[in-house]
Structure 1
Amino acid sequence: MASRLSFSEEDLSCSVCCDIFRDPVVLQCSHSFCKSCLQDYWTQKRSGRDCPLCRSESTTDEPVVSLILKNLCDAYVHDSSARGAAEGEEIGELCSLHGEKLKLFCLEDGQPICVVCHTSRKHKYHECCPVGEAVLNCKEELRTALKTLQGKWEAFDKAKQACEKTAAHIKMQAQQTEKKIKDEFEKLHHFLRVEEAVRVTALKDEEEEKSQVMKAKIEVIGRNMASLSGTIRVIEEKMRVEDISLLHKCRTTMRSSQPTMQDPEMGVVSGVMINVASHVGSLGFRVWEKMKDMVEYTPVTLDPNTAAPWLILSEDLTSVIDSEEKQQLPDNPERFDPDTGVLGAKGFSSGSISWDVEVGDNTAWVLGVAKDSVLRKGKVPSILKNGYLSIYYYHKMYFAGTSPLTRLGLKKKPQRIRVILPSTNTSLPIWEHVRANQVEVMWSVAPYSITVQITPLTSQKAQNKNKLAAKSFFTKSSRDTYICDSFLSGYCQFKFTCELHHTPYPFHWQLRCQDTHHWVNASLSAQVKLEKLYCDIDRETIRLQDMTDVFTLHLDTMKVENSVKYDKARRLTNSSNPGSNPYFPTEWNLYWWNDSSWEKYENEISKDLLGEMEAGKSSLWFYIGKRLYELDFSRLIQMNVTTGFKRRDSSLSKADQPTQVLPSLSVDPLQEFSSWYPPVWTLSPNQDFSLLEVPPSTKVYQSIYSLFHSTMPETKAEIISIQQVQNIFQWDKYQRQKEHMQSRSADQSGSLERHLFHGTTEDSAKEICLNNFDPRVSGKNGVAYGRGSYFAQEASYSIKYAPATGGGGCQHMFLAKVLVGNIVVGNSSYCRPPQLNPLKPGYELYDTCVNQMPKPSIFVVFDSCQCYPYYLIKYKVVPDIVNICE
């Protein structure tokens, strides 16, 4: 049997890598190398192809593969592996070269070796250690590296969460700031709108007054001209006489021809021109001066990004209160935490400045100035050595912020502190207490010497500041939902320290944030819209929108549904006690559910129930007719005591319903007027038609407003504008038709004309203003009572035929003058009214068809001369979704 040849590892090792040949190749000089080792050698050398051992040049580009040497290397490796496996050792624990167990670990090469490798030329002088010890060291290094990586990952995760919270806070800040900006500009816009309306009304009043003067003068001149015309006509007739009779009457005629009236003044009467200068002279400056009284400059605005999480800043960033609950705010470097401090938004490095701080009756406070470099993270005293110049108040004592604290001997409790930074030394403030007797307290801390000067404040500027401060609005995060009656009446002596809310209306809507539990105010325009919807007894929910967040408010529970930001709402209200607020106490209506709709209690019962509820009683027994009922105030459940049957009750504010209070003027457009054209007619004869805007402060607006809302409550629709339609051609036709019908039926002149509603589209409204209502195009919305123009007595009926058009959702409705005359119940086949009396000869017809008799509510006319588009009302349906930010 043939025996296997024996080779050593050195015989089968590459002289370049000192390892077993891998893909061996042989050169012309008979030296062998690994193919990859030879290629790497040639690549590094870049010039020539010589042998790494003997340096002889090789003439071949590709060296010859040595298959014999490759087979020998493979057989050697296979025999070594098989020998190790036969001894029961795992391949991974045996040396691939010698088949020996790997018992050592080369520290220099970083690989396990066997005992034979340790004595070989490659590892002979290397430092080694046992494999077990190397494994423990490796695990310890990996454990340390893993712990470091895990710690770094956790740090990145925390940083990511902090960045996400900061990004969310930035978005919330942007939304709240945008809302505040819009609120402030809305106040200015409201002021300008009111100011414009007042000045336009004054101009119209002057125009009407001076027009009446000229009208009276024209009437006098007209009468004189008529008298002269009669005299002239008589003289001309007598001059046509040719015989002697003219001579007999000549003297008499001459006496009658002498005019008795004085010659008219050829010029315009003095003082009747519009005083244009008084209306437009320096108009912008005068409005600006008046606007200055409604704004207030605050020298110090607090920076919310520096406020500690326990501090709550007012909306205008001028006041701060301490809270027991820590807010979830980003831990940015500028913020004080855990110290409860806040800095002003603007720093000062030069110049002179002063400001007042209202401390009121607070039990503890610290105020002063600080370096921008003061420590924000950590709890350190606000004293001089830490970068502060401050005054302390706690335990009913006052201290200067020195180290240790210096007690100040103040005899009276300050309500306001004035901080003055003099221009000579801006790092050293002067303190003034503005509501105490003259006192001076001095203390020294090298190198500073500080004087606290306490002096009363009596300047007019300060008094104006107090007056303006009384007009500032704020709400508190307390559970109390009452608005200060004194503030609504004009002045609250407690100002910002008042425990009640200071709001612009006797109602105020807020929503609570889920995360911070802070109450967020709805915008001023949203306040009125919310109140209108709340005053609708049939409404159970309101759809609200905040930016892209759309959600539902349940009015019964005041809970918010489907919102990512808010969880509940509340409605602030003023007192219903006439004693504390005799001008506008909140009045409430009580309703009970009759299985189909809400029904209002009688006034006397409602008054008794509200009185007992105000007194804090839990329930009340009362009679309705002969039945005895009990009303549970806590659950608002009414129970029949005899049968035990229960019904729901509900209360609704009626005084808070935002009705428009308008001054009463002398002109009512719905009443008869003696002139041919309506009052304030400004259209020139060469115009087709014009639309004259009706100011909200006039009697015209008030009358139409009341008539429209008598059937369309403010909770359903909101008037945008009212315009008078002036069309001379159509008006003249209407007036002549009116005279004709009056002469024909003098006995019904009182009921001849009515003011009725007609709903239409925007395009049709323009057509009607130009060409009047046209019965020839009837039938679009039905012909139940005839093929004519339809008018309704109630606006709530006409609104069905006034769809919203355009992007703003504006709807159009006419308040038309309609000559009703003789009426008869209509029929869909009528193209004109039927005969008035078929038994009598002639063709006299009824004037108008109606839906029913008596008490008709729908009128159909077939002659366009019987109607005129008197006023155009533009309005919006109160939306189901209220944007609380707009």
Structure 2
Amino acid sequence: MGERPEDHVKCQSCLKINEDPFVLECNHSFCRACLQQHTNKGEKSCPTCGTVFNSMEIPENLTRNEPGIFPAGSATSEALCSLHKEELKLFCLDHRELVCIICRDAEKHVGHKFRPLEEVVGSHKERLQESLLRAKKRLEDCQDLRKNCLEQSTYITVQKEKIVTKIKKAFEELRNFLNTEEEARLAAVRQEEKIKNERMKEKISALSREMTTLSDSIRHVEEHLASSSLSLMKTFQTTLRRIQKLPDKPELHGEALLGEAHHVGNLKFSVWARMNEMVSYSPVILDPNTLGPELSLSEDLTSVCFDEGREQRPKNPERSSTGSVLGCELNLNKTTWDVDVVNNTDWLVGVRWGDPCLPVKNDFCYIGFTRDKYFQTGFQIGSWNPPKKIQRIRVSVDKNKRTISFSEALKNTEISKITNPPNWPGSQAKMYPAFYTHSKKPLKIIPLDDVEDFGTHIFNKW
């Protein structure tokens, strides 16, 4: 009699009937392929019930060259064509996939180009290597950027503390000024009140004395009028002289009251004008976020100098890699600022335009001094020797006229003027004052101390 299917045992994993199954101690049976795959993963438990065994080694009879088992040295299942069970030895260039010899002659690959697997694997490895290198480079970029972000996050806290301290200090100075000014004006009111009250008291006292004298004279005359005719006539002349000798008519002189209009008229404006003596307006403010690695700014952000013991700052996109520093963006169509350079022996002062985050794409125009020589850079390169050392440089930018000019500020003598420079950004483009120095003597932006100039700049800005 032939063998029946029920005489064989089903594999507990693939549920196929197996002629020579392997039965575990837990009585679950498996075909050779399923058990081989399971043990290759390092498992020592039954795939069905999970019973753990001390050993899951496959007997020798399970590695024989029998149906369903690949002998040592033969191709694995993943190396065979899923349709024809032949080795995948060719690569279709049109479909970009591995095929076997039978697939090559199939209708779906008619007219396609094929290459042996070993020929194409090299180029694919190279592409993978290139992609791998790019991925590693991108990972390094992400790591560098993350480190920079952490540095910036830490520096933001440092900046916050610094800014808060400066704001508190500035308002404390303003409060002290206002308190002092308030006390001075209140003291002036109290002083005037004291003087005018004393004058009024003296006037009242004098009037009281005159009133007493007049009252006595009136009473004396009334008594004589009531006396006998003989007595009246005997004292008539004396009584008449007494009643006729009257003091001058009392008058109240002007400016007796407090000068309220003087004390409170335009009070806020006059205090603001007085405040101008302790404050100043700078037409240019230097931006610490653009500060080069070897520079240092003053507390009020209006002067810059070279600093070897420099502060550690993060590498944010706006920060200059050339060692310069930018002022805040020029918002007016016409802006002028003066820079004190008298004690500095190595400096550049000028204008830069473009995106501060992309300095390599910026255009610029500078005037400078180094090695005892003056020079200009940016569209008009040259040098000159003025008769006397320049103390102040004046920079003027007129966006409407498309001009940049440099002058000696104290005598207002023009040094150079550039009209329509190449790549001029236009009236809406971003332009920035720019500064550089390699001297410990600061480049100082001259403030506008005059109230009228200060007000003009403020109103023009807003």
TM-score range, shorter chain: 0.5 to 0.7
Superposed CA deviations along residues 146-168 of structure 1, whole A, max 9, x for unmatched, are: 98777665544433332222122
CA distance in 1, matches of 2:316, 2:226: 109
Aligned to 2:385: 409
Aligned to 2:147: 161
Higher normalized helix content (fraction of residues): 2
- Structure 1 residue 305: deviation in Å? 1.0
Name the amino acid aligned to 2:157: K
CA distance in 1, matches of 2:152, 2:311: 13
Write out aligned runs for 1:746-765 (5 A): none
> 5+ residue gaps in structure 2?
24-28, 37-56, 91-97, 99-117, 424-439, 445-462
CA distance in 2, matches of 1:357, 1:228: 78
Asked if 2 retains the 8 angstrom alpha-carbon contact of 1:12 and 1:21, the reply is no
TM-score, with length taken from structure 1:
0.35
CA distance in 2, matches of 1:151, 1:440: 50
- Structure 1 residue 329: deviation in Å? 1.0
Name the amino acid aligned to 1:194: T
CA distance in 2, matches of 1:442, 1:399: 14
Asked if 2 retains the 8 angstrom alpha-carbon contact of 1:221 and 1:264, the reply is no
Aligned to 2:188: 202
Aligned to 1:547: none
- From 415, 419, 434, the equivalent of 2:409 is 434
Write out aligned runs for 1:530-569 (5 A): none
Q: Which has the larger radius of gyration?
A: 2
Aligned to 1:329: 313
- From 38, 60, 75, the equivalent of 1:87 is 60
Name the amino acid aligned to 1:123: K
CA distance in 1, matches of 2:261, 2:273: 18
> 5+ residue gaps in structure 1?
14-19, 25-33, 35-68, 113-117, 379-384, 449-477, 479-493, 498-886
Superposed CA deviations along residues 756-790 of structure 1, whole A, max 9, x for unmatched, are: xxxxxxxxxxxxxxxxxxxxxxxxxxxxxxxxxxx
- Structure 1 residue 211: deviation in Å? 1.6
Aligned to 1:849: none
Higher normalized strand content (fraction of residues): 1
- From 322, 327, 338, the equivalent of 1:344 is 327
- Structure 1 residue 192: deviation in Å? 2.7
Superposed CA deviations along residues 584-637 of structure 1, whole A, max 9, x for unmatched, are: xxxxxxxxxxxxxxxxxxxxxxxxxxxxxxxxxxxxxxxxxxxxxxxxxxxxxx
SS of match in other structure, 1:317 = coil
Aligned to 1:39: none
1:421 matched to 2:373? The reply is: no
SS of match in other structure, 2:255 = coil
- Structure 1 residue 217: deviation in Å? 1.4
% identity of equivalent residues? 28
Write out aligned runs for 1:509-548 (5 A): none
SS of match in other structure, 2:178 = helix
Instruction: Specify whether residues 304 and 288 from structure 1 end up closer, same or farther in structure 2 by C-alpha distance, changes over 3 A only.
Output: same
Aligned to 1:597: none
Write out aligned runs for 1:262-341 (5 A): 262-263=246-247, 265=249, 267-337=251-321, 339-341=322-324
Name the amino acid aligned to 2:212: A
CA distance in 1, matches of 2:418, 2:252: 79
SS of match in other structure, 2:314 = coil
Instruction: Specify whether residues 155 and 424 from structure 1 end up closer, same or farther in structure 2 by C-alpha distance, changes over 3 A only.
Output: closer
| Structure with larger RCO (C-alpha < 8 A, sep 6+) | 2
- From 372, 379, 385, the equivalent of 2:354 is 372
SS of match in other structure, 1:429 = strand
Write out aligned runs for 1:359-398 (5 A): 359-373=341-355, 387-398=363-374
Write out aligned runs for 1:38-49 (5 A): none
Superposed CA deviations along residues 697-716 of structure 1, whole A, max 9, x for unmatched, are: xxxxxxxxxxxxxxxxxxxx
- From 66, 78, 85, the equivalent of 1:123 is 85
- Structure 1 residue 200: deviation in Å? 2.2
1:171 matched to 2:157? The reply is: yes
SS of match in other structure, 1:223 = helix
CA distance in 2, matches of 1:178, 1:250: 95
- Structure 1 residue 275: deviation in Å? 2.5
- Structure 1 residue 394: deviation in Å? 1.0
Name the amino acid aligned to 1:394: T
Aligned to 2:437: none
- Structure 1 residue 209: deviation in Å? 1.8
- Structure 1 residue 446: deviation in Å? 8.5
Asked if 1 retains the 8 angstrom alpha-carbon contact of 2:284 and 2:328, the reply is yes
- From 345, 354, 357, the equivalent of 2:339 is 357
Asked if 1 retains the 8 angstrom alpha-carbon contact of 2:317 and 2:357, the reply is no
Aligned to 2:44: none
- From 170, 183, 205, the equivalent of 1:184 is 170
- Structure 1 residue 389: deviation in Å? 1.0
Name the amino acid aligned to 2:342: G
Write out aligned runs for 1:36-75 (5 A): 69=17
CA distance in 1, matches of 2:217, 2:352: 97
Aligned residues: 370
- Structure 1 residue 22: deviation in Å? 4.4
SS of match in other structure, 2:269 = helix
- Structure 1 residue 372: deviation in Å? 1.9
CA distance in 1, matches of 2:222, 2:173: 71
CA distance in 2, matches of 1:307, 1:167: 18
Name the amino acid aligned to 2:325: V
CA distance in 1, matches of 2:135, 2:400: 56
Instruction: Specify whether residues 200 and 441 from structure 1 end up closer, same or farther in structure 2 by C-alpha distance, changes over 3 A only.
Output: closer
Name the amino acid aligned to 1:369: V
Name the amino acid aligned to 1:389: C
1:98 matched to 2:68? The reply is: yes
Aligned to 1:756: none
Name the amino acid aligned to 1:351: N
Superposed CA deviations along residues 538-557 of structure 1, whole A, max 9, x for unmatched, are: xxxxxxxxxxxxxxxxxxxx
Superposed CA deviations along residues 154-213 of structure 1, whole A, max 9, x for unmatched, are: 544433332222122222223322332333333333333323222222222222222222
Asked if 2 retains the 8 angstrom alpha-carbon contact of 1:409 and 1:441, the reply is no
Instruction: Specify whether residues 120 and 101 from structure 1 end up closer, same or farther in structure 2 by C-alpha distance, changes over 3 A only.
Output: farther
- Structure 1 residue 219: deviation in Å? 1.0
Superposed CA deviations along residues 675-699 of structure 1, whole A, max 9, x for unmatched, are: xxxxxxxxxxxxxxxxxxxxxxxxx
SS of match in other structure, 2:194 = helix
CA distance in 2, matches of 1:417, 1:210: 55
Asked if 2 retains the 8 angstrom alpha-carbon contact of 1:412 and 1:436, the reply is no
- Structure 1 residue 255: deviation in Å? 3.7
Aligned to 1:515: none
- Structure 1 residue 97: deviation in Å? 6.5
Name the amino acid aligned to 1:345: C
